[in-house]
Structure 1
Amino acid sequence: MKLIKNLFLLLALGSVVLLSACHKTELLTLSQPVLQISAPITSDTLKGTIKGTLLSGKTYYFKSDITVNDGDTLQMQAGVKLIAIGDGKTYQTSPEIIVHGTFISLGTKDNPNYITVGNYTDLHSQAAAGNYANVFQGYWGGIVCSPSTTATATNAAPAGGDLIIKWTHLEMAGGPSGPNNDPAIYAQGDPRYIIYFGNIKKNFVLEDSWVFGSKDDAIRVVGGKINIMRNTFEICGQSGGEFFNMKSGTVGDIAYNMMIGAATNAIKASDSGSSGTQCNVNMYNNTIVNCGFRQTKSGRGGSINYEKAARGLVYNNLIVNCRFGLRLVNDADITNIKYNSQLYYGNSQTIVNQFNSADGVATFQSNDVHSTTPQQNNPLFISYDLNQFNYTASPGPLTAAQQPAYLVQVGSGNFRLQATSPAASKGKTDFQPLNLVTSTGTTASTVTLPGKDLGAYQIDGTGNQH
């Protein structure tokens, strides 16, 4: 009996040690048991209305639209490939995933998921060689998440569901919309996004994932509780479009994302749409590099943008060689936007002059790291040359063909910080994320708290894990 008591004591002490060892920069939710397999999907071809579980290690294909009905769930286990077969030429040949219910992709670090196209390896190789013509083809129609018209009209529960995506590659959507698309989302012929999410009552979680090669916006959110953490965004938007574009009703946090090569802004918040819930999004500890140069409209395109009554907190971001720095338009909710502790770097005078966008009202704050001289305050990435492209000769706008791969993709670059970086220990940590996502168990969010170092990668190894 004494031996058993001692064993229980050791187990209890071990639990205390484990809990105390959790890194203080993470808000952890104790998970419920792993989701049970519901209705395993064994056919490798998906079409029509679907629900159930895509099984680990299997590859699935869809050539026409597939739909998850209101109240239903489609789940991807770790190590699933979901391949769209399309050519991006018409809406009929650019299939999409229509989600009126819940869609869950639970990849892992060692066994990530893919939602992409069949020739994604070749397309990555072409992009690595600087050939983007096929990358922007928009082979499929993306994921469209919104309540069904019937559920919305009758106020029938559950009226749509959550979108939960972890450790998943999302790639190369943008095929033209057609008459089957909701005109409130897309005008006919518009390029579609990799993800559209529009449900003010539900959750959108995107964690530790990769977003690559959209024709226009990569992701657009028109209402919802969001948590966008520790992802990598690369080369999205052929001649316009953001990595992450938000409208009225969107609330939450965007942090620890590596963002390189957006056509326009990396992140944009606007309260347009009049949902009744103000767009309120915190953007902190993101690394934003070489963004904004493919946007052809004057004054557009850069790093972080708030406009049209949107609000939020903006801290601890690295804004590096972006065409425009922080842009706070005077019609944003300026009173309720708090910002400080950004590091700005520009290798040309043109970039330096626009650290605070000239058509906005942002000003430098007390703890910003900035200079009026080009090539000052290099953040000292471990292995990336910020001066390998001459922005003095090419201040923008640029076409994709004018941008070498190293400007729009991570490639062999290592964007972690050297110990002597001017971004080290400059972070503001005395504020809290909104942390509004309500999903639990294996679909719960892991919110990384503000970091002491600027940018997505913390010198102690926390933050972005890519």
Structure 2
Amino acid sequence: MAKVDGNGVVTAVKPGSATITVTTENGNEKATCAVTVVQNDAKSVSGAVEGVWSKYSVVNVTGQISIPAGKTLTIEEGVEVIVNTAGQDPNNTKIEMIVNGNLYVQGTPTSPVLISVSAAERTAANTFKRLWGGIIGSGTCSEIILDNAIVEYTGAVTTATSPSVVAGLFKAGGGEGMVAFNTNNPQGKYVVKNSVFRNTGEDAIYVQGGSCIFINNTFYAVGEAGGEAINVKAGCKVDAAYNLMYSPNTNGFKLSNSGADGGARFQAQINAYNNTIINAGWRRDPNKPKGGSIWGEAGCLINVYNNLIVNSMFRAKAPGWGVNGTTGPDLNSKMNNNFYASGPQQSTVPQHITNGTITAYDGFKAGVSDAVYSANDIAGTAVNDKNPNFENYPFATDPLLNFTYNTSWDFHLKAGSPALTGGKTDFTPYFSTTGISVNGKTYKSPVPAAYIGAFGTK
């Protein structure tokens, strides 16, 4: 792909082919020229990394990498970061990216940054194979921006020699898997927007510190035997909005104040609003049912509004809701104006049958343990009731345990959808006014919408 300026100078834009046509001023003569732009030569990296990975380049990560404290790595649009999946030592330790400094991933809608494995390994069989570790912000990591990034095939099980374990950021082994994106600095600033997290063995986003904005992201095939799309702990202040979460293993959101360390880390504070959560919770170990859409616990302060929860195992749940601010969320927390709808699909998992949760409606109706029922919720009174009328999604036929995402689906709402009204708009997200400054740019949280879910009409 190329462009031509007024002087006829041809400039490469991005890899691809183009035909340039030149016409004389009188229009009588034309000439054409075929131009092919190729990717920059691939380079290999390991150890300490910093600087700029230039547009449309291929970067092969051949060993453990880290961004040193006080240093910055910028990854520009169209870059493909290919992580080697071989074990790095006798423990079969997988590669991780440890961010002790700053990381700025700056893709575009048409040229996102891909952080993945080799093309040959991007298969359905490898969906939950945990081929590499993930992006881990340490206690010295000040800033991270992921804008138009695709992060996939993460979740490697840690070993005693995993860099994150050696640094005291994760536990070793015992089934402990890495997450796709993690933070550990309560003073840090982190923005993740317009990005895709998929095919990960554990949580997609798991934050243990920092001011965070998570907006307009897509999550699918998240978690093998457990795992959330977004998991928030103590030391975090978060606005999460307009995200699509398809088939997270356990929850779209897990929100808690665990990790407070006796007050060493400030109380977790989260606004989760205008998100769409589909097919959540069904792939969780059925002998350990927990969550199923949104799960609040352990003293966090949460505001959960305007979320569209469809075909998920349970409605929003919180032990001790409104009664016990230690085992459950802070008593000042709010959950309201959320929408629940269930198709007629049934699970055939024996434990689901025993638990009485063979349809999503079974987990939405009155009497469910730890479920939160609020005056302004919109909830179907039977299967197929309150169909949100998506533009293109098989509401009544998509299998409950499915995790294969169809990119042709469209979760915008058709005219007349019951989810187009009922959203709560009279609250202010934490960062909608002041924003968060990362890499010299201020990012602001979007205001809440009057519709429910991540998408209104087209």
TM range (shorter): 0.7 to 0.9
Matched residue pairs, number?
Answer: 387
Instruction: Name the structure 2 match of 1:188.
Output: 172
Greater mean alpha carbon deviation, residues 227-236 or residues 109-118 = 109-118
**Secondary structure of 1:196's partner?**
strand
**Alignment-mate amino acid for residue 221 of structure 1:** V
2:369 is equivalent to residue 359 of structure 1: yes
Structure 1's unaligned 5+ residue stretches are: 1-40, 128-132, 148-158, 392-402, 462-466
Moved over 4 A (4+): 87-93, 440-443
Taking structure 1 as reference, are residues 45 and 388 closer, same or farther at Cα in structure 2, changes over 3 Å only?
A: same
**Alignment-mate amino acid for residue 99 of structure 1:** V
Question: Residue 206 of structure 1: CA displacement?
Answer: 0.3
Instruction: Name the structure 2 match of 1:438.
Output: 436
Decide whether the 8 Å contact of 1:343 with 1:454 is kept in 2: yes
**Secondary structure of 2:214's partner?**
strand
Match of 2:451 among 417, 440, 453: 453
Taking structure 1 as reference, are residues 432 and 117 closer, same or farther at Cα in structure 2, changes over 3 Å only?
A: same
Question: Residue 43 of structure 1: CA displacement?
Answer: 6.8
Instruction: Name the structure 1 match of 2:23.
Output: none
Matches within 5 A, 1:200-349: 200-274=186-260, 275-296=264-285, 297-330=287-320, 331-348=327-344
Question: Residue 89 of structure 1: CA displacement?
Answer: 9.5
**Alignment-mate amino acid for residue 217 of structure 1:** D
Decide whether the 8 Å contact of 1:303 with 1:326 is kept in 2: yes
Matches within 5 A, 1:367-378: 367-378=376-387
Greater mean alpha carbon deviation, residues 276-285 or residues 84-93 = 84-93
Percentage of pairs with the same residue = 30
**Alignment-mate amino acid for residue 283 of structure 2:** R
Decide whether the 8 Å contact of 1:88 with 1:174 is kept in 2: no
Match of 2:127 among 135, 138, 144: 135
Structure of higher RCO (CA pairs closer than 8 Å, 6+ residues apart):
1
Question: Residue 437 of structure 1: CA displacement?
Answer: 5.2
Q: Distance in 2 between matches of 1:389 and 1:50?
A: 44
Q: Distance in 1 between matches of 2:86 and 2:219?
A: 23
Q: Distance in 1 between matches of 2:134 and 2:435?
A: 23
Decide whether the 8 Å contact of 1:226 with 1:437 is kept in 2: no
Decide whether the 8 Å contact of 2:186 with 2:265 is kept in 1: no
Question: Residue 268 of structure 1: CA displacement?
Answer: 0.6
Q: Which has the higher helix share?
A: 1
**Alignment-mate amino acid for residue 249 of structure 2:** A
**Secondary structure of 1:354's partner?**
helix
Q: TM-score, normalised by structure 2?
A: 0.80
**Secondary structure of 1:300's partner?**
coil
Instruction: Name the structure 1 match of 2:44.
Output: 45
Question: Residue 42 of structure 1: CA displacement?
Answer: 8.2
Q: Distance in 2 between matches of 1:143 and 1:228?
A: 15
Q: TM-score, normalised by structure 1?
A: 0.78
Q: Distance in 1 between matches of 2:252 and 2:55?
A: 33
Instruction: Name the structure 2 match of 1:179.
Output: 160
**Secondary structure of 1:335's partner?**
coil
Question: Residue 163 of structure 1: CA displacement?
Answer: 1.2
Decide whether the 8 Å contact of 2:79 with 2:113 is kept in 1: yes
**Alignment-mate amino acid for residue 289 of structure 2:** G
Instruction: Name the structure 1 match of 2:413.
Output: 417
Instruction: Name the structure 2 match of 1:400.
Output: none
Q: Distance in 2 between matches of 1:175 and 1:164?
A: 23
**Alignment-mate amino acid for residue 451 of structure 1:** A
Q: Distance in 2 between matches of 1:415 and 1:206?
A: 21
Q: Distance in 2 between matches of 1:50 and 1:172?
A: 22
Decide whether the 8 Å contact of 1:88 with 1:138 is kept in 2: no
Taking structure 1 as reference, are residues 269 and 311 closer, same or farther at Cα in structure 2, changes over 3 Å only?
A: same
Question: Residue 339 of structure 1: CA displacement?
Answer: 1.8
Q: Which has the higher strand share?
A: 2
Structure with higher Rg: it is 2
Q: Distance in 2 between matches of 1:139 and 1:117?
A: 8
Match of 1:167 among 119, 140, 148: 148
Q: Distance in 2 between matches of 1:259 and 1:376?
A: 22
Decide whether the 8 Å contact of 1:88 with 1:139 is kept in 2: no
Greater mean alpha carbon deviation, residues 101-110 or residues 188-197 = 188-197
Q: Distance in 1 between matches of 2:404 and 2:190?
A: 26
Decide whether the 8 Å contact of 2:302 with 2:333 is kept in 1: yes
Structure 2's unaligned 5+ residue stretches are: 1-39, 321-326, 345-357
Question: Residue 361 of structure 1: CA displacement?
Answer: 4.9
Q: How far does the alpha carbon of each residue in 1:234-284 deviate from its partner, in whole angstroms, 9 at most, with x for none?
A: 011111111111111111201000110111011111101114310110000
**Secondary structure of 1:243's partner?**
strand
Q: Distance in 2 between matches of 1:333 and 1:266?
A: 17
